Chain A
Amino acid sequence: MDFRLTEDQRALSRGVRDLLEGRFDREALRAAVDAPALDRELWRELGDAGFFALRLPEEDGGVGLGLPEAVLVFEEAGRALLPGPLVATHLAAGSVPGAAEGTVVVTEADEGLVPWLDEADVVIGDAGGAVPMRSVDPLTPLHRVPGERGHGEGGLLAGGDGRLVAALLLAAEQVGSAGWATEAAVGYAREREQFGQPIGAFQAVKHLCAGMLVRTELARAAVRAASVTADPVEIAGAKLLADTAAVGNARDCLQVLGGMGFTWEADVHLHLKRAWVRAELRLPAARAEEAVAAGL
């Protein structure tokens, strides 16, 4: 047993982080907030980099990596707050032509919600009669499927392990976002001075930051282990803890940033809102808790 990243996995993480920092930095993020449309060029570049074809076998033109590598890549996507139906398109690679290359955008009806419906080329699942919402997340347009349709088990991606993989990849994004929030809070607490010292010297602030790290580490360990075992109960637990970490950390980060954190200019609200959206998709808290309890 060696529950550490391999050198190749570390290099993959670093590579994706570099790619996203170069291609989707803070400036690009804020530009996307001001003009929310899916960047097709970026989508193709992600396709070229193997983001969607990561788990396809090499003989099918894929990268031939596995779930453990996929969660590392999606963790970086969550950290960068990369917009778009990333998980659905990743899952559709190999079955929907063009998805693997990033030339086609695939979305999915999931828990009665359809993200990015107007921008998508292909919709998986029953999105009939979907009505637009004023989405809380400025970077995730949402449609609501009326009635009970679209809840739980449906959708083509639900076939086989798709439903579980989707939950795990969303969880990985949540971990990335939780890590971002910790770093943002700690960075601010080191610089911002009040009463003649950095606010990070005050225990009240320190303890908020320490709690953020604990939540992140717990969720990260759960997500990475679940990516290795692919155990359904473990995946449900990972989604649960990752949702808790992403939402809790964004809130605590906002608190550490104080008045600044409550402004539109601070990025933390974008992370919080995306975390809320991901928490409502695949295995929201109530069902995840039930799934883990059923394993007892």
Chain B
Amino acid sequence: MDLSCTDEEEAYRAGLREWLAATLPGLPERPDPLDWPGRRAYDCGWQRRLYDAGYADVHWDASPTQRLIFLEETELAGAPYVGANFVGLLHAGPTVAAEGTPEQRARWLPPVLRGDEVWCQGFSEPGAGSDLASLRTRAVRDGDEYVISGQKIWTSHAEVADWCELLVRTDPGAASKHKGITWLAMPMDAPGITVRPLRTLAGSTEFAEVFLDEVRVPVGNRVGEENDGWRVTMVTLSFERGTAFVGEVVACRRLLGELARTARKNGTWDDPVLRRRLGRLSAEFRALWRIVQANVSEAQATGGAPGAGGSVFKLHYSHARQELYEAAAAVLGPEALDLGRDWTLDRLSSLSYTIAAGTSQIQRNIVAERILGLPKGR
């Protein structure tokens, strides 16, 4: 068990810290969280700065330790989050990097790193949410193209995305529903695509319905083999559950520190029940960061994607983060009802964490069946 960093890694940390201190004060004002095009421009601008400074490729080219240092330092400094680049950098990018051909990597990865292209995730459907493999969007081969018809839903960033990582059914007669699925990169400007934004309970339109009417996508946009998309998807999802949230753990530790400062100022810190509640949350987020380090160490050693251990992390993290906002509401009092406060919007957003990327109930099934070896059932 070694938690220390090498001299080289510490030098990377020091350089990054220095660059953040010099760069962050000059950043433009963050756009209103409800303004998607504004957010895309802001998030991509940040990504471009990272690229120009040599920090952009950390999500798939750097060592896992270096990636953790990057996430830790950027969050501690209060730097902008990946935002609209979430899917490209943390889901589609790692998947293309792991499963794509050299040509596909050359085509899709650099624009993501430069902040030129934004991706969205076309996995869920109205009839296939947690039961993802039940998806029905069809793709029929026509020469060198797939012709796609169907509907996707909960597609984050669809309004402003250039590419969609799309799951389609290519063999409806396959022996198992998992066997007839294919992973495609679909350009969002292709004819036949209609995006209809959905309004979240927070009032924003951060996800959408996507209707596909005979959309033509070149066969060369397929990552992995035809009908092998489920395996490719599992690679994506293990990244999503395993590492996509890790920066947010550091963010939570920062938020908790802010909350403690606020509580000391407004007197609520004198309430031992509330103080102890914040203490327990702090212990949980510290431990979650250690689980991240354990998962990353394991993935680094085995050379693969993070395994089902990601579900263990995601289960506790999503609940702890919701608890953090409930504790924040107790500290802030009536102010927690003001939508003008970041805390309030974040509290609303956090309600999605136990649903998105596989509900907590599905995660528990995964932990029980894949780690503990309990039988499949109802």
A residues whose Cβ falls under 8 Å from a Cβ of B = 1-6, 9, 68, 182, 186, 189-190, 197-198, 200-203, 205-207, 209-211, 213-214, 217-219, 221-222, 224-225, 227-229, 233-234, 236-238, 240-241, 286, 288-296
Contacts and interface: CB of A to CB of B under 8 A. Distances in A.
A4 B299 CA distance: 11
B376 A221 contact: no
A288 B281 CA distance: 12
Interface in B67-87: 68
Contact of B372 (A210, A219, A294): A210
Given A213-B312, A218-B291, A221-B287, A207 B1 contact: no
Interface residues of B, number: 52
Contacts of B278: 293, 296
B22 interface: no
B378 A201 contact: yes
Q: For B2, B283, B367, which residue has the most chain A Cβ atoms within 10 angstroms?
A: B283
Contacts of A294: 279
B176 to A, nearest CB: 19
A219 B294 CA distance: 13
Interface in B339-374: 361, 363-365, 367-369, 371-374
Interface of B: 1-5, 9, 65, 68, 256-257, 260, 272, 275-280, 282-284, 286-288, 290-291, 293-294, 296-298, 300-301, 309, 312, 315-316, 361, 363-365, 367-369, 371-378
Q: Is the interface of B mostly helix, strand, loop or mixed?
A: helix
Q: Is the interface of A mostly helix, strand, loop or mixed?
A: helix
Nearest to A6: B1
Contacts of B376: 201
A237 to B, nearest CB: 3
Given A4-B1, A4-B294, A229-B3, A214 B377 contact: no
Given A2-B301, A218-B284, A211 B375 contact: no
A190 B375 CA distance: 7
A68 B2 CA distance: 10
Report, nearest first, the 10 A-B pairs whose CB atoms are least far apart. A201-B377, A237-B283, A293-B279, A206-B368, A296-B260, A289-B279, A200-B374, A289-B276, A210-B364, A222-B287
